[in-house]
Amino acid sequence: MMKKLILYLCTLCLSAISCTKDKTDYKAEIDTAVIEHTEFKEAVSIRKDGYLISIESLNGTFYKGYNELRLKIKDSQTKQKADVSAVTFIAIMENKDGTKSSCPHRYSLLHKAEADYFSGYSVFTDQNSPEASWNFYITFSAGNKNYSVKQAVSVQQQTNKNLNMTAFTGNDGERYFIALVSPQKPKVAENELIAGVYKLNKPKDPPLGSFPDPSQFLYTEVTGYTLQLDPRMPEPSMGNHSSPNNKYLTQESDGLYHGVVNYTMTGNWTLNFILLNSEGKILKGTVVPKDFTPGAEGTKSELFIDILF
């Protein structure tokens, strides 16, 4: 009995030493990787037929992943707010071979009258590269006339891993996207976890209109789903341990999915998910074993997003 107790205590000691060492190794990366952006700045400005179109985003930059967008339209001469309506938006990526694809986005922008802007978002699935580039296609109505605008934009790599995203095919054969929205800079505490969950609408065949035909590029904010959450620290020294008081993500009035993730320490975490549809059927994801596995990398769900803070 005494031998078993000594062996157990030695194992705990070695695990603690390893944990401390690994945590120290990650500290420098943690301190430099997480930048929180809170201010909206102009990312692109467009002049079109007497109108000045300004698109704002956090930090004035478009990043891979979720981007909240604010679009303002003024008279280019007077710089006064223009009387426009029916503002639509599509983000399209074009590859060097000519193929085109889009990403989750709000097509019909919402007018925020109290703040004088049109609200939308775009979940860019990749950054610009020599092989691919992004363009915005915007339409609006003013003075009984319709206007169309095309604008090339630059999408940067997202270096904040707390805003990672994932794309996958569900068990129903549909294409889904999950993008982390918040927190940008988590705390060692219970954090509100916000994510967008989207489904690609299958393109109409044949197309309903000329390019860029919305029927070929639309996405849906899935309604009434549940995103089950099991956060773990998968590093071998951490033993794939979890944390208490986490809450599954469910949809709120803003269309996004809100829950709670409890980070008990800084470092590498994996957000293990199981996505259930409105009928409670599993679309993707597997249960993570509850075993404590010091010295071995932790098992992840079939559906997961890695973060680091």
Q: Please state, in angstroms and rounded to a whole number, the distance separating the CA atoms of residues 303 and 249.
A: 14
What local confidence, expressed as pLDDT, does residue 31 receive? 56
CA–CA dist 232, 192 (Å, integer): 17
β-strand partners of 92: 135
pLDDT in tens, 194-222: 999 999 999 988 888 899 999 999 999 99
Tokens for 238?
């951490």
Tokens 């849906």 -> residue = 220
CA dihedral 209, 212, 213, 215 (to 10 degrees): 170
**Geometric angle at alpha carbon 235, from 233 and 240, rounded to 5°:** 45
- CB within 8 A of 177, min separation 6: which ones? 103, 104, 123, 125, 165, 166, 167, 196, 197, 198, 199, 200, 219
- Spacing of C-alpha 198 from chain mean position: 10
Residue 7 has pLDDT above 60, yes or no: no
State mean pLDDT over 274-287.
98
Q: Tokens 């692109």, residue?
A: 44
Average pLDDT in the 251-263 region? 98
Q: Is the pLDDT of residue 29 over 90?
A: no
pLDDT digits (tens, 9 = 90+) for 219-232: 999 999 999 999 99
Chain Cα centroid distance, residue 90: 17
Eight-class DSSP state of 202: P
pLDDT in tens, 106-153: 999 999 988 899 999 999 999 999 999 999 999 999 999 999 999 999
Tens digits of residue pLDDT in 38-96: 999 999 999 999 999 999 999 999 999 999 999 999 999 999 999 999 999 999 999 99
Report whether 68 contacts 76 (CB < 8 A): no
- Written as one letter, the residue type at 189 is A
Helices (H), 1-154: 2-33
